[in-house]
Amino acid sequence: MFFFRACAMAEMTREQIKAVVFDVLGAIAPELDAAAIAPDKPLREQVDIDSFDFLNVVIRLHERLGVDIPEKDYGELLTLDGAIEYLSGRLAERAGRPRL
């Protein structure tokens, strides 16, 4: 089952990754209005989450997508666009495809 899940996750589109990010953010900040999120602005400011909540976002993204997110890469997740780009690349790497 893990192999199937890993293969399925590696084939995720950017829209699917975006949906996972919104789902994770919504679980931590239920007041989230996904339509109001600017893709190039810091998520923490838009969703009003603190550093502890941000760490929970990172942990949940790891759990949902099955990718490791080292602390040195946390800055890649600061905006919606950055998070989608970073997670898409990590999923591609895990599948053995080059990052785009």
Domain for residue 99, yes or no?
no
Cβ density class 27-66: b for 16+ within 10 Å, e for less? eebeebeeeebeeeeebbebbebeeeebeebbebbeebbb
pLDDT digits (tens, 9 = 90+) for 56-100: 999 999 999 999 999 999 999 999 999 999 999 999 988 776 555
- Number of domains, the chain: 1
pTM: 0.85
For 50, the domain range is 2-94
CATH number of residue 31's parent domain: 1.10.1200.10
pLDDT digits (tens, 9 = 90+) for 2-17: 433 444 455 799 999 9
Q: What is the reported pLDDT for 2?
A: 40
